């Protein structure tokens, strides 16, 4: 596999800035210390992925996904 093929398969990340309550950050740091997650970004991505997975049916009903989803 060439470098170009690898780049095409790699998902593009978008950098965003968010504000969190301090307690969330403290707990994320504990998870990092326990080696449950590698970074703040990974913790937040995991939480968002789990939320979207759990809410998929509701989001679909609200039209968050196009036809054929």
The predicted pLDDT at position 2 comes to: 66
Q: How many CB atoms lie within 10 A of CB 13?
A: 8
Entry pTM? 0.67
pLDDT tens, residue by residue, 3-62: 666 666 778 899 999 999 999 999 999 999 999 999 999 999 999 999 888 888 887 888
The predicted pLDDT at position 48 comes to: 92
Distance CA 22, CA 59 (A): 29
Q: Residue 28 class from Cβ within 10 Å (0-12 exposed, 13-18 middle, 19+ buried)?
A: buried
């Amino acid at each position: 596999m060439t470098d170009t093929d690898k780049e095409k398969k790699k998902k593009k990340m978008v950098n965003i800035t968010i504000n969190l309550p301090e307690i969330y950050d403290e707990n994320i740091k504990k998870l990092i210390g326990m080696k449950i997650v590698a970074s703040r970004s990974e913790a937040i991505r995991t939480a968002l992925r789990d939320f979207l997975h759990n809410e998929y049916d509701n989001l679909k009903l609200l039209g968050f996904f196009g036809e054929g989803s």
